[in-house]
Amino acid sequence: MTKIISIANQKGGVGKTTTTINLATSLSAINKKVLLVDADPQGNASTGIGIAYKDRLPSLYDLIVKRELDTNSIKKTIVPNLSIISANTNLAAAEVELANYEKREFVLEDILLNTKAYDFILIDCPPALGLLTINSLVASNSVIVPLQSEFFALEGMSSLVNTIQLIKENFNPKLNVEGILLTMVDKRNTLSSLVEKDVREHFGEIVYKTTIPRNVKISEAPSHGKPAIIYDVNCSGSMAYIGLAREILNKQD
């Protein structure tokens, strides 16, 4: 059984792409077969994992146009066990074009229907609650919501929670919240600790025990086209993402 997880939050810069790449790599390292789907027209996940622009075709956009999987779109990455369907800027047009499709919320689900060989499919969502994110949530079993540990962390959460609820009611009854992940946590910073306390009080058990520290290696890694886990496995950020993968796997069984 493949578990499909969207990494979503309509805010930009909260750690969606970083989480998708490093969680995917951590799960692969624990011998899981993983497919990363880059559903953001910015293509940051594709770049961050070292897929050159010219090597992205057919990209997710081409699959959406045909509404079916083309196995040529699945590219190997430098990480054993981890493949990717990449994105380029064409994908921005899909947000508009999808509006005219019949059953427009189910296009990504149709595309992923025949990808059975994976333990996990992780979808990196764009920073919006538009049709690409809706398609990702409809195609998924669950969603991970990264929250940046700063003052406005909870801003926008009610519209995200509403969207998840609407998708559950109308398109995908099995969708649930896999977990809320605190990112860019700075234990020395009082505000960061207050935000963590606030988020845990508000959302309870669903917040992962694992938090991701603010760590410079994590932010350097994408410019080398490598996941942090490959760039520096011993840095605090890499260790945290490996811990997150373990926490998620422990929750499954």
Ligand X SMILES: Nc1ncnc2c1ncn2[C@@H]1O[C@H](COP(=O)(O)OP(=O)(O)O)[C@@H](O)[C@H]1O
In the chain, the amino acid numbered 207 is: V
DSSP label of 185: B
CB of 170 or CB of 219, closer to ligand X: 219
Burial of 31 by CB count in 10 Å (0-12 exposed, 13-18 middle, 19+ buried)? exposed
Shortest reach from residue 235's CB to ligand X, in Å: 10
**Position among 16, 60, 107, 133 found at the interface with ligand X (CB under 6 A):** 16
For residues 50 and 11, give the distance between their C-alpha atoms in angstroms, rounded to a whole number. 24
Binding part of the chain for Mg ion, among 15-23, 143-151, 156-164, 185-193 by CB under 5 A, reads 15-23
Return the bridge partners of 207, or none: 180
**CA 172 to each of CA 24, 72, 139: distance values in angstroms, whole numbers, following the listed order:** 24, 28, 8
Buried b (16+ CB within 10 A) or exposed e, 146-170: bbbbbeebeeebeebeebbeebeee
Q: Is 59 in the site for Mg ion (CB under 5 A)?
A: no
Shortest reach from residue 180's CB to ligand X, in Å: 14
* Number of residues that this document lists for the chain: 253
Binding part of the chain for ligand X, among 10-18, 103-111, 162-170, 199-207 by CB under 6 A, reads 10-18
**Position among 18, 26, 133, 211 found at the interface with ligand X (CB under 6 A):** 18
Interface with ligand X: number of residues (CB under 6 A): 18
Query: Position of tokens 């942090």?
Result: 228
Q: Is 13 in the site for ligand X (CB under 6 A)?
A: yes
DSSP label of 143: E
In terms of DSSP bridges, do strands 82-85 and 74-76 run parallel, antiparallel, or are they unpaired?
antiparallel
Question: Which residues from 174-233 bind ligand X, rule CB under 6 A?
Answer: 183-184, 212, 214-215, 218-219, 222
In the chain, the amino acid numbered 84 is: I
Q: Which two tokens stand for residue 11?
A: 């805010």
**Position among 44, 77, 192, 211 found at the interface with Mg ion (CB under 5 A):** 44
Query: Position of tokens 């427009």?
Result: 104
Q: Dihedral (C-alpha) 183, 184, 185, 188: value to the nearest 10 degrees? A: 180
Shortest reach from residue 47's CB to ligand X, in Å: 10
Binding part of the chain for ligand X, among 8-16, 81-89, 99-107, 198-206 by CB under 6 A, reads 8-16
DSSP label of 25: H
Q: Which does 237 bind (CB under 5 to 8 A by kind): ligand X, Mg ion, none?
A: ligand X
Q: Is 238 in the site for Mg ion (CB under 5 A)?
A: no
Binding mask 125-154 for ligand X (x = CB under 6 A): --x---------------------------
CB of 44 or CB of 172, closer to Mg ion: 44
Give the residues lining the site for Mg ion (CB under 5 A).
16-17, 44
Give the residues lining the site for ligand X (CB under 6 A).
12-18, 44, 127, 183-184, 212, 214-215, 218-219, 222, 237
